[in-house]
Amino acid sequence: MALLVQKFGGTSVGTPDRMRAVADHVTRTVRRGDQVVVVISAMGKETDDLLRMAREVSNTRPGREMDMLVTAGERKATALLCMAIADLGVEAESFTGSQAGFLTDATHTNAKIIDVQPDRIRASLAAGRVPVVGGAQGQSAQRNVTFLGRGGSDTTAVALAHALGADSCELYTDVPGVFTSDPRIVTDARKMEHITFDELLEMTANGCPKPAMRSVEFARTHGVELHVRSAFTWESGTVVTKESTMEQAIVSAVVHDADEAKVTIGGVADRPGVAAHVFRALADADINVDLIVQNTSDQGVTDISFTVPHGDLDNAVAICEVAGAEVGFTRVTAEPAIARVSVVGAGMKSHPGVAATVFETLAANDINIEMIATSAIRVSCVVAESDIERAVVALHDAFGLADGPVYVD
Ligand code: ASP
Ligand code: MG
């Protein structure tokens, strides 16, 4: 008998028919002899709808009330799924995040989990029931309802799997697993059977939209096995595990992020403290800076380019203009039309030549590289946004990813 956490995303429970299909799957799993804890998102686009309604009624939107509002989506879904499961002759019980023992900090709209004390979930399992937990929610020390942020249900599922010592955390979604590239762009992208936490973390940090990056980080830290799979075909998906003695693919995937914009500050004095000043100001404004490149200095001045999400571009430019006046650089330019392509693979650590192949492939396709960054298992290039789809297709092809991974020998 296994203990499984099964998490269902919004599309998976988006309609009454989908709810019944999910209830059917959960019930079958239970009848097979396994124990199941369900974590569920709000139905369909309900979270977006609630956020829109809040914007329509209020300019203030206090965080405490936003969280009370948004978590209602998941709460409704838990009750409906329990009813659908009951119809199939299995007892199910709905729980809000706070009932399920999720204690968080008080950062409304983006709370962090501090502890999970799932006593009531354990009791529900022991009584032979299926606990159904609202995703992305908890309660603060002040006993206010908190929301874990967009995509937070994945994190709820992983944290609960860890707290309960579950055998696996199954993330059911509208795609069959993790692909070697975005299948909407690369027609022969392949679903991967396995991937390591480190690789998936790099992928989600570099444009792969699912699962939520925070949940992958949590799973990696606590060694929670993940299984990303389809709630439409129910076929087996992608299993995410620690790096093992398993063969290491040199390159596993090509991901891209078009939500990138570039800022360049020019005429920067090449002396200690200038970069510190600028990036502290950006950090204080909560701007998540990604790639940073500083040029070699020429006659005591240099320039620094960095990327930010599109939504932060105007703010980043304004902050740099203020900082420029303070530390004396001469120019701030913004380039919105850029995108980043990244090649990820755990085996490249011990295998030279991946960067060379990336650059050669882009060159052969006449794609200019504007910035380059690497980690131990990733090579990223910033290119013009208009080149991004060609870059992704060419790199996927160059590393032969459609045919299956090439392993380190
Ligand atoms: N429903 C919320 C969202 O769409 C939280 C989640 O389900 O992950 O972000
Ligand atoms: Mg862009």
296 and 392 housed in the same domain: no
d(CA 215, CA 157): 8
User: pLDDT tens for residues 277-305?
Assistant: 999 999 999 898 989 998 888 888 889 99
CA 109 to ligand 2 centroid distance, Å? 26
Calculate how far, in angstroms, residue 120's C-alpha sits from the geometric centre of ligand 2: 46
Q: Are residues 285 and 394 in the same domain?
A: no
Of 101, 97, 105, 52, the residue nearest 78 (C-alpha):
97
Same domain, 331 and 364: no
Q: What is the pLDDT of residues 171-220, one digit of tens each?
A: 999 999 999 999 999 999 999 999 999 999 999 999 999 999 999 999 99
pLDDT for 360-382, tens place per residue? 999 999 999 999 999 999 999 99
pLDDT tier at 246 (50, 70, 90 boundaries)? Answer: low
Q: Is the CB of 151 inside a 6 Å radius of any atom of ligand 1?
A: yes
**With 90 as the cut, is the pLDDT of residue 161 above it?**
yes
On whether residue 253 sits in a domain, the answer given is no
Q: What is the pLDDT of residue 248?
A: 79
Token pair in block for residue 272: 């200690």
Local structure of 292: helix, strand or coil: strand
Residues 319 and 356 both lie in one domain: no
Protein residues within 5 Å, CB atom, of ion ligand 2: 385
Looking from the CA of residue 48, the nearest atom of ligand 1 is 4
Domain boundary pick from 131, 158, 174: 174
Query: Do 389 and 270 fall into the same domain?
Result: no
Report if residue 231 sits inside a domain: no
Tell me the CATH number at 272: 3.30.70.260
Residue 354 pLDDT greater than 80, yes or no: yes
pLDDT at 409: 63
Q: Are residues 298 and 370 in the same domain?
A: no
> Quick one: which atom of ligand 1 is closest to the CA of 73?
1
| Residue 236, domain member (yes or no) | no
Domain termination site, one of 174, 200, 217? 174
Q: Looking at residue 339, what is its pLDDT?
A: 97
Q: Which atom of ligand 1 is nearest to the CA of 156?
A: 8
Same domain, 28 and 141: yes
User: Of 131, 88, 138, which is closest to residue 111 (Cα–Cα)?
Assistant: 138
Which has the minimum average pLDDT: 54-58, 145-149, 272-276, 381-385? 272-276
So what's the pLDDT on residue 255? 98
Residue 56 lies in a domain: yes
Atom of ligand 1 nearest to the CA of 41: 7
Split into its structural domains, the chain has a count of: 3
DSSP bridge pairs for 191? 179
**Helix or strand (DSSP H, E) at 132:** strand 130-134
DSSP-derived secondary structure letter, 287: -
Which amino acid, 202? E
**Measured at the alpha carbon of residue 44, what is the angle toward residues 68 and 385, in degrees to the nearest 5?**
105
Q: Please return the burial class of 269, using the count of CB atoms within 10 Å of its CB with bins 0-12, 13-18 and 19+.
A: middle
Last residue of a domain, one of 323, 338, 353: 338
Residues 56 and 127 in one domain: yes
Q: What is the mean pLDDT of the chain?
A: 95
The 10 Å Cβ neighbour count of residue 386 is 11
> What CATH number does the domain containing 117 carry?
3.40.1160.10
Residue 263 shares a structural domain with residue 381: no
Q: Which domain holds residue 379?
A: 339-403
In 3D space, the residue among 152, 134, 144 whose CA is nearest the CA of residue 66 turns out to be 144
DSSP percent split of the chain into helix, strand, coil, nearest 5: 40, 25, 35
| Same-domain status, 270 and 367 | no
Do 292 and 326 sit in the same domain of this protein?
yes
Question: Is residue 74 located within the same domain as residue 96?
Answer: yes
Q: What is the pLDDT of residue 352?
A: 87
Per-residue pLDDT reduced to its tens digit, 301-327: 889 999 999 999 999 999 999 988 888
Tens-place pLDDT, residues 69-96: 999 999 999 999 999 999 999 999 999 9
| Ligand 1 pocket member 139 (CB < 6 A) | no
Whose atoms come closest to the Cα of 259: which ligand?
2
C-alpha 135 – ligand 2 centre gap (Å): 31
Which residue minimizes the CA distance to atom 9 of ligand 1?
150
